[in-house]
A and B are shown apart, each in its own frame.
Chain A
């Protein structure tokens, strides 16, 4: 895979955090961004990762890698995100050479990650019952140079099954009624053993799926939910309370070290605190204490609002023959 942007390359423009645009490089064309016009000619021949100057700023040109694609892709359906995708890949043991079945294709978010993991000698068969969606996905794989690793089929697997038999190392189902596909799954999974994963947002769906899996002798069935919390970086500035007790202490020290005339009596404590602000401006002693008064630390804090639920992932082994 070349690392240079060519005519016809898909490019992800990174304008800022969570601000990604997808374009196809075409000579002489111009693309409008919030940083002004971007000439496609400035892209072509550059290395991926380059900074591209626009009329009012710059963007970074990146290649289509699965994680960015997930954030930038045109949504045709609900999609799976990085946390669930990663866990699916690990739990389904998807590795180079794996034969994987996916239904439905949806917007192709998971498909891209699966393909990355099974290259160069594995294959993904992905099924979608919505014809337009399956065509769009097929085009995208073509544009991203992944066609040889994936077969996209327009097919309703619930009624028609997966067409193939005894070929898959792993099956992933993201269907409204995955339990109705279990018999088909048993046909397509390798008889010598294979893994199944279903994704369902509702617990009732999970229950029906698990019932059906038990009935069909699936093994080691387990259900998990995974959420990723992206933290925010923030400098936390904390002002300190000026305790009068400490101040007295400091004053004694100040007096000793500065050998200032003892203007104030100890009895003036209350007045001292009320006139604190004034003192702060002109007194030498307080400017010395200044650095102690606010403390700044870089912190990472969890998101105030975050996606609290995506779906339940259920994994199982098919019973070996």
Chain B
């Protein structure tokens, strides 16, 4: 059973909010400007419940937590039949003032108590229908009962955490990511090249699916910098075994056979005096090794989901693909992909080329109240996918 250790990452969920954090003894994180310490997460199990007590998240039992966050069941005895008697005539409905609530909160009054006060001071609560009362209570629970759950990070949870920050991952929705992974036929042993600007979400997914197989994973970034793709890879806390075959290489130098020679000539300026320069040299060597390896490797999959021009990247990398290999290009707009399609058709040697988008609809499933969610994401972006064959 996996437990949290000092230095691990965790995904905190609270109602429909999700946040990725790193657990470090004595180091606070911030949620809504509140300082919170995560010391008590250490040694707790994946999926445990926590309550905020005096700046610390403290473990509480599953049953206790579930009782607190359980959705309310309300009988219709104390409820109105419909909304004919409810009218918004401008008079004050809720007499409990915002300042009073803040006062209660600062006194450490429990969320449950605040909610019961809100109910008793609401002029209309009893006239609402049972369904409406339930909805009201659930809404208040979301606001006043803060029970957190800590999870070991997974690709699914990272997608969830980014749903309110989609611009950071080029608006790549989870179903689109899922299909991108299928269409690129990533599996244990694949040689994969990835060009992405999605905080490393795609790279992390690929690393997980390859799980340290015999294949190589090439992460092509401008100047071979890792920063653009490190967030999600860090969140996943991969073991070394998973990442030894991952090479981050400078995309600009791909196909330029002189690069390595030039680098070797420039080498003599060696002065491994302190640790920092030593590390920098190591990183540089790793980049060069990766670049050399890349030139020799036939790729099984190419994934492009970049903020840079996809067409020129595709043109540059397509010859590295082996026979019966797969390519997938993600773009938020279809126009970029049409350019790539035109290039592919002209070049030949590829089949099963498709452009597709998708539609993901979530449902509220409740007795007599089942319907799709009122809001849904309407833009999944587009995937261009295909296979390389003999022309």
Contacts and interface: CB of A to CB of B under 8 A. Distances in A.
B289 interface: no
A30 B358 CA distance: 41
Given A48-B324, A93-B156, A300-B355, A60 B390 contact: yes
A49 B321 CA distance: 12
| Interface SS of A by simple majority | mixed
B183 A67 contact: yes
A63 B182 contact: no
A89 B360 contact: no
A300 B337 contact: yes
B156 A49 contact: no
B133 interface: no
Contacts of B382: 231, 300
B211 A86 contact: no
B30 interface: no
A50 B389 contact: yes
B370 A203 contact: yes
A239 to B, nearest CB: 21
B101 interface: no
A85 B182 contact: yes
Contacts of A226: 175, 358-361
Nearest to B324: A49
B196 to A, nearest CB: 17
Interface in A74-119: 82-83, 85-87, 89-91, 93, 95-97, 113, 116-117, 119
B140 interface: no
Interface in A266-320: 298-300, 312, 314, 317, 319-320
A63 B178 contact: no
A87 B156 CA distance: 10
A49 B178 contact: no
A252 interface: no
B331 to A, nearest CB: 11
Interface stretch (A133-141, A217-225, A240-248, A254-262): A217-225
Chain A interface size range: 35 or more
A299 B155 CA distance: 33
A168 interface: no
A14 B181 CA distance: 22
Contact of B352 (A14, A117, A217, A314): A14
A138 B89 CA distance: 69
B156 A91 contact: yes
A279 to B, nearest CB: 35
B211 A67 contact: no
B46 interface: yes
B363 A206 contact: yes
B14 to A, nearest CB: 12
B209 A95 contact: yes
A47 interface: yes
A109 to B, nearest CB: 12
B54 to A, nearest CB: 26
B156 A319 contact: no
A314 B362 CA distance: 10
A235 to B, nearest CB: 10
Given A63-B324, A298-B341, A300-B355, A113 B182 contact: yes
A226 to B, nearest CB: 5
B62 interface: yes
Contact of A90 (B62, B181, B351): B181
Interface in A193-227: 193, 203, 206-207, 210-211, 217, 221-227
B47 A317 contact: yes
A130 interface: no
Interface stretch (B21-29, B33-41, B185-193, B225-233): B185-193
Given A63-B324, A207-B370, A89 B182 contact: yes
A229 B324 contact: no
A50 B208 CA distance: 30
A151 interface: no
Given A51-B390, A83-B179, A230-B355, A223 B211 contact: no
Given A62-B387, A87-B178, A229 B359 contact: yes
A237 B273 CA distance: 66
B66 to A, nearest CB: 8
B60 interface: no
A117 B183 contact: no
B189 A1 contact: yes
A66 interface: yes
Contacts of A97: 211
A256 B62 CA distance: 87
Nearest to A221: B365
Nearest to A47: B323
Residue of B324, B341, B360 with most partner-chain A CB within 10 A: B324
A120 interface: yes
A225 B182 contact: no
A97 B188 CA distance: 11
A320 B66 CA distance: 12
Contact of A207 (B62, B156, B356, B367): B367
A210 B365 contact: yes
B130 interface: no
B292 interface: no
A65 interface: yes
Contacts of A95: 208-209, 211
Given A67-B185, A90-B178, A96-B211, A224 B361 contact: yes
Interface in B204-240: 208-211, 213
Contacts of B389: 14, 49-51, 60, 62
B182 A67 contact: yes
Contacts of A203: 370
A230 B183 CA distance: 13
A120 to B, nearest CB: 5
A50 B390 CA distance: 5
19 contacts: A14-B351, A17-B352, A48-B323, A51-B389, A82-B182, A91-B174, A93-B154, A95-B211, A116-B185, A120-B213, A192-B46, A203-B370, A222-B363, A224-B360, A224-B362, A226-B359, A227-B359, A229-B357, A312-B363
Given A49-B323, A90-B155, 19 more contacts: A47-B323, A47-B324, A67-B183, A86-B179, A91-B178, A96-B188, A207-B367, A223-B362, A224-B360, A225-B360, A225-B361, A228-B179, A229-B357, A230-B355, A233-B355, A298-B338, A298-B341, A300-B355, A317-B47
